[in-house]
Amino acid sequence: MALGVFLKEWAAVARGGDGRGSSTVAAWDLNAGAELFPANLMWKRDSAETTSGSIYKIGNCVTRRFLFSRPGIEALKARGTGPNVKNPTRVEAVSGFLCEMREAISKVDSDFVLGLRQDRNLIASSLGEVGRLVCNDGVDIILCSSWCKLGFYDADFGWGMPIWVSSIGMCKSVFLNLIYLVDTRSGNGIEAWVTLDEQEMALLEEDPELRAFASMNP
């Protein structure tokens, strides 16, 4: 959210004002975020440092773009809907599906999503378990970041609205198992920019279940 606000204000400065007829740009209260979203101590600093270090791995990586159209997303949401979760979000549906494809988790169903939403003790214990697991070399971590609904396509620097907003492609990156979710220009679909080991990506691209819901580099 902060990145989206920053880009909008930067674009306003580039146009010579705030885009609303004023020649000045409002100064944002940088402390307001801490008041609205206070720090959560469940995620300890040592766990964060360990987890961050574990995602830096040298390998022959490739990045591919998978486009989930609106019908595909609706199908994934329907698959994740259950008695306890009536309407999973687009990000939950797509990220859960991609993680399932990577076998990061054995199953993402409605009970799993509900538990993450409601049970703080479950989240706290899970974060603690993550901190222990990432210390093991044999544990793979998938880092997923959602850039959806951040308003990137509204950032007009004076040349018009962006035609295409994307993550960067990575070749031989130190970041393995990385997923960025970005809105399509229409706002109805999601582009998933996935960075994996080259051999794993070759297998993923041929997965028939993934092809049923997403288009490959359209």
Model confidence at 99: pLDDT above 70: yes
Residues 4, 52, single domain; the answer is: no
Within 10 A of 60 (CB to CB), how many other CB atoms are there?
12
CA distance 174 to 214: 26
Same domain for 122 and 14, yes or no, is no
The pLDDT mean for the chain works out to 74
pLDDT at 146 over 60: yes
pLDDT of 113 over the 80 cut:
no
Pairing type for strands 215-216 and 190-197 reads unpaired
Task: Tell me: do 114 and 27 sit in the same domain.
Answer: no
What is the pLDDT, as a whole number, of residue 108? 43
Residue 70's pLDDT is what? 93
Quick one: 23 and 81 in the same domain?
Answer: no
- Give how far Cα 109 sits from Cα of 115, 144, 185, Å: 10, 18, 29
Q: How confident is the model at residue 137 (pLDDT cuts 50, 70, 90)?
A: low
pLDDT tens digits, 22-36: 555 556 666 766 676
What share of the chain has pLDDT > 70, as a percent?
A: 59
Tokens standing for residue 8: 């909008």
d(CA 115, CA 59): 34
Q: Which residue has the higher pLDDT, 84 or 45?
A: 84
Does 52 lie in the same domain as 71?
yes
Residue 93, pLDDT above cutoff 60 = yes
Are 136 and 153 contained in the same domain?
Answer: yes
Q: How do residues 184-214 score in pLDDT, each as one tens digit?
A: 998 889 999 988 888 888 888 888 889 999 9
Shared domain check, 178 and 99: yes
Separation between Cα atoms, residue 172 and residue 102, nearest integer Å: 19
Domain identity same for 46 and 28: no
What average pLDDT does range 8-18 have in this prediction?
Answer: 77
pLDDT in tens, 164-186: 988 765 555 556 778 899 999 98
Number of structural domains in the chain: 2
Q: Which domain holds residue 144?
A: 40-216
Calpha distance 157→21 (Å, rounded): 15
Same domain for 117 and 188, yes or no, is yes
